[in-house]
Amino acid sequence: MPRFCANLSFLFTELPFPERFEAAARAGFRGVEFLFPYEHPAEEIRRWLRQAGLTQVLFNLPAGDWAAGERGLACHPGREAEFRQGLEQALDYARTLGCTRLHALSGLVLPGVAAEQLEATWRANLKAAARRCAEAGVILLIEPINSRVDMPGYWLDTPAKAFALQRSLEEPNLRVQLDLYHAQIMAGDLARTLAQHLPAIGHIQVADNPGRHEPGSGEIHYPYLFRRLDELGYTGWVGCEYKPASTTGAGLGWFAPWREG
């Protein structure tokens, strides 16, 4: 049975952030992820995790000025030092939280910058970051995020591009974070993608399409895909990164058959 973790940037948002950990545990989740931890001291987050008996599964590297619309720095020429500083900050948090997966957002395509330069910058940053993460025992993740609905202009936007780049860098701890919602929008063919690329997948996330709401609210047949993950032998986490159609609790009916304990 897949191991599900709650994304606390999306779920239980009716509660203050510190209270979401216990709420996730009460709902039956054994792990959590979120976008960014950096507004809170790492020691406080570790205390919330321990009190709730939860595993910290994943969070993102700093992504530039998120409020101003930036969505990562990895492909941005001239900001390599900022990317490296963010990586070190993320690794410090990961050590304190016992987190073994970090996601590096690629960033948006920059007007006037050649495609070749964007890719070269991304490659150099990710290769160096993967090796630094390997030293710390951390898996570095890249995620194709749809550029049609949620992040127009996002550089790493299709599963095919992500898997091709992951293979080409040849770093053993660099994997793809496959959000099935984004993959459905950009490519579809989800079951075949999972079967073809499972060894390269380091984390899976779910939401339904359209709307990015809970599984069962749209066109993706998640019961089949969850069974298929078991058949394929996937042992990683499945992150619930969706926007509840109403409240988190009202949208957890889909989770009942998969809840642990």
Q: What residues act catalytically?
A: 143, 241
Nearest to residue 168, comparing CAs of 139, 206, 134, 130?
130
Helix H, strand E, coil C: the string for the chain is CCEEEEECCCCCCCCCHHHHHHHHHHHCCCEEECCCCCCCCHHHHHHHHHHHCCEEEEEECCCCCHHHCCCECCCCCCCHHHHHHHHHHHHHHHHHHCCCEEECCECECCCCCCHHHHHHHHHHHHHHHHHHHHHCCCEEEECCCCCCCCCCCECCCCHHHHHHHHHHHCCCCEEEEEEHHHHHHHCCCHHHHHHHHHHHEEEEEECCCCCCCCCCCCCCCHHHHHHHHHHHCCCCEEEECCCCCCCCHHHCHHHHHHCCC
Q: What angle do CA 212, 217, 220 make, to 5 degrees?
A: 80
195 close to 232: Cβ distance less than 8 angstroms: yes
Query: CA 189 from chain center: how many Å?
Result: 20
248 close to 14: Cβ distance less than 8 angstroms: yes
